[in-house]
Structure 1
Amino acid sequence: MKNILLLILLFCTGITQATSQDFIKQIEAFDEEGAYDKVDSVYSLAIQQDDWSHPSLQSLELKLTYVICLNGQGKSEQSYPITVQASKELQQLKNQTTNREELKKIKKLECKITYEMAYGLWQGNNNQEAVEIVKKAIEQASILNMSDILSEAYNLEGAIYRRLFMLDKAINSYQQSLKIAEIRKDYRLASIIISNISILYNEIEETEKAVQISRKQFDYPVLDSLSMESRINRIVLLCNHGILLTNAHHLENARDTFLLAEQSINEQTPGGLKFYLYTQCGRIFRDLGSPKEGLQYYRKALSYREQSRNPHYQANFNYLYGYALLHDSNSPEQAYTYTTEAINFYRQNDSLNIMLPKSLLLLSEIEAKKNNPLLSAQLAHEAYEKELDLQKGKYHKRLASFEAELKMQEKDLEISQLNEKRAIEKATYQARIYTIIIILAIFILMSALLIIHMRKRRIAFRLKQTELEFKIREKESQSRLLASEMSKKMTEQYLKGLEDSNNRISKELHDGICNELLSIHMQINQSEQKQLSEQLTQIRENVRNLSHQLSTPQFEHISLYDMLLLYTEKLNLLGSPQISSYISPEVKSVILLPEKILEVYRIIQEAVSNTIKHAHAQHMYLTTSRQDGQIEIIFEDDGIGFNVTQVEENELESGLGLRSIKERIHQLQGTFQIESQPGKGTILHIQFPV
């Protein structure tokens, strides 16, 4: 039945979706409206959903939102168990998560829950436990760089220390919070913190310093001076500042401050705030010797008294108004009524309020005017006892703060002693280590001296041996250098001889055999033997091409790019196998000596020749590019391939073609690599500097 009523309530308030974000938004909305019964209903419905049976970020965010709402209402007894449960579930979720981003979200949520736990403990007056938890929240917020929570946590720490009467620590915590709030430009929080600091200085009777600090909040920029919220904040700031000025006996400045606050009042200003302001105006005008104006403001305040939600403000007003009625309007009966209301409230709710002895003395004075001396004396005696209780309470609170501070100092001393003990143990351990190291060093030094002495006798012999070895290595180096030079000269002679031989053969083929074949061809044409004529024509063309290939081309006026382009086009005209080429545009700008272009030409020519003779390929591919000052040429075919390792190990099987390619690449100061396997074609990879 209860669940049905909850569903009906949620339906009537427009709640139709049961997702986590909806629940959170609904709780926040009802919290702002003050509809706390609806907040409880939404939370009760949310935790009954199947999705919340296991801990998750969404369920924990919902619990955190509800805890914030409960703490805002001062329901710490109800919020604390939920916070503890959320903390346990969060730790369980943290241990199960490996995702970095999700773990970061969990840590931020953990920081917020820790802060709310400390806030709930502070509301429940568990100050010693609260201060430990809030320190943990400060540490977590510092690590995660959550400046908003860090500022709030320092502010809460100041409030806890203030309740423990550790006023110096409270001021230090407030100042830390103020610094962060100003950096974040959170001037609302900064104003609250300044007000707290000012009140603390006022409590320790440093009223001038309290006023000086309070003035700072009026330097903050006002983003929206026309909004109602901004007006209310300004009135509250002015009222608090006026009270500080009053306590510092700057009465005229206080009056001007209250009048300035009065100018910001309009019809939309809450009645409770008007009541508070008019009460302070009445008090200051009476202190300045204007009782009539004071009574006027008290009567204005009286019309808004019932709209105030703070019963302490109402009781204080009753005392002040009763005092003014007795002394300024000679109305003891009315004064008696208001003073009695104030005393009854203080006796029931705040027996240690400083206003209770004052109210009792005022009532004693009223009874004396009514000719009740015995009752007046009893009230005066009660006021005296309450004043003693008040002083004792202050003394005990101060003593409790000293005890709490002493306990903290004892803990700090224990930690210091423990650290000192660890430092002594560490120093002793280090001293032992150093002693052992020194002994080992002495032993090593003596051993080294002994070894040096023993080796001195071998030095002369080894010196001579070293000289002989050096001469041998020098001779070997000279021999290798000579062999290298001879190899280079032989390579040059070999290539030159190869070119000369090619030129000679080319000339003989072109001038001799080709001309003879042409003569035979002409005779056969006259005898009308067509087929034989075509065969001779093909033979003559092949011999002519071979002659051109063997002859040394002239590359004085041609670039590498043009040479590669012309050569591949010429190969494609000869027929199968076809060659496909890609020449990078960067190669156009390459300038090489004619000798190097010739070497490149012969290398590609030799690769093509080997492919035609041995590979039985259907296609050939030539890729030329320029990268980082290097020319890179890749020649591929889809032929039968060969075993590269076997050919490299047996130089006799490598043939003249492969040796010719090696020698020419050596002339280009380049490198090459052959990749091939039987049945998978061959890749020749060449690189040489521009």
Structure 2
Amino acid sequence: MSKSLLFFICMLMVSLSCLAQNQESFVGFGKLPVYTPDSLLQQLKHAGDIKEKMLAAQPLIAFHATHGTTDSVIFYAQQMVDALNNSTVKSGDKHLYQSALFQTLAKAYSEQGLQDEALRYYLEGIRLAEILGNTAAINENKLGIANVYFARNEYNKAIEAYNDLLKTTQDEQLIHTAYERLSVIYLEKNDLIRAKQYAEKALLFFRQQHQLKNELQTKLTLGIIAELDQHTEEAFSIYNEVIKNAQAQQFFDIYINAGQRLGDLLIKKKEYENAKGLLSMVYANAMQWNDLKAQLKVLNSLRTLHASTGDYKNAYALMTQYMGVSREVLNRQNKKEINELEIKYQTVQKEKEILNKENELQQQKTIKYGLLIGFLVILLPVIGLLYLYYQKLQAQSKLNTAMDEMNQQKITALLKDKELALLKASVSGQEKERKRIAEELHDSIGGNLAAIKLRLSSQHNVNGLKELMLQVDETYHQVRDLSHDLIPQKFTNTGFTELISGYLRQFDIPGNAKISFQAYPREEIDLIGTTLKVEIYKIIQELITNSQKHSLASKVEIQLTKMDGLVKLLFEDNGRGFSVETTKHGIGFQNIRERLKLFDGVLSIDSFPSKGTVIDIEIPLKPEWHEA
């Protein structure tokens, strides 16, 4: 059994103890996930043709959608898609069934955080809905696309999509669902007034329609608004209400989100034991449901909790666990893509078989037009060859243009690399020369003057020596001050962690990403050698610059830790990310790797499109890299 698993079992035991001592602070559950009712499975098993199977699958899929078990939703919906592909149902009925199933799959993938897959199914759903002339289905898929933009943190696109939907639909359900989503977007944009206005409109409608799950989700949003608006007790009350009702109705996805928010609130109130108990239980349930997105949120909260109590070792262990879950999310994304490609391939094969049969029938009907077909057979290849020749000329022209641009870019990159290398060499030489001069002034000249002063001070009976001593003393202090001026004062006169905090505060302006910085233990980090401090400071500057330019993140977290003979720097943002395998690293990352080579440091990057970026840096500490 691994250490991390033992750790979380112990935390779960603590949580049960805390619940027994303080039953009214919060509620939780420790049940296993609900199982599929046997009656629904039997209906699907005994269904006959495709229409009966579709009717039997509807309540089964709806059951799992209501309880947030998205894996089961995808499993049964995909089974029906495969059954449709293998059936001989009429195209009109097939499109109708596919439209409903694609919308179901899109919602499930979106809830799992697989937004690319969700967007693909929503777009396909709109195409089918337009063929069927189903305006309601078109609007439902438009709402789904807006939700995907929201999940990708593309808030301006999402707001535009929701407003477009509000202009074209009269469906009260869609309108108030859009209001609920807009409230969350404006909450993310920190516009609490608009967020509250939209949330209250949505809550009134959901309450009137007795839509309990939507009502609880909207109440959770209002609780977050109250928390951010410094109404802590109101938020505490709302979170407790949502947790209790979500548990009673078995809305486990809402329960997990509300529990995580309440845990964070308990941390702010410094009720660390209650927070530890609740978050441990929420994490256990997130693991039971294999909800990786929820696991990431709770692990981050637990990491903050242990850091706040000074338990840096467990904080770092949780950080490692967090990165492992993040990698699992990426692996799951890749597996889903492979499965979808297999299904797509099977569908294409079926369509090819149908097409071949249609071609055979068409050939039989057109034999009597042999002369005409013969003429077309001769004419069409000629036209095809001419078209291919034209395409070849066009492609060659585009290729030449692309090659010219590529060569120009290579020349520009080489010039920039050369300039950067010269600048590095110049700066390195200046720093070495400044250090050499400082040591020479301090150790040689300063030492000599101090010795002269000492010898002269013993000659009390010689006239005029007092004035000479004053001159020598003044010269000694001048040399000493000069040597100190040649050392970077901001890294010696100011605490290193405070220096970083001051630099990060420059970016604390409206519209910029919210940056949080934690360092522990601060006292030991401040004792790192000046040379290493300078490089770490420059690396943080480089990472912040990259994030500001490229990531479009709304949140950035920086953690600097000294532990087990290592300095560890963790940089994390929730921006648009990138593919580590296919994206070429720019000059910024190259600069960082070059700086780390001087200290035997290691850089690892964990990122994926629309999933944010995690950068982990480890530098081994050597005795010569500590302050004297």
TM over 0.5: no
Question: Under TM normalisation by the shorter chain, which class is it?
Answer: 0.3 to 0.5
Q: TM-score, normalised by structure 2?
A: 0.42
> Which structure is richer in relative contact order (CA contacts within 8 A, separation 6 or more)?
2
Q: TM-score, normalised by structure 1?
A: 0.39
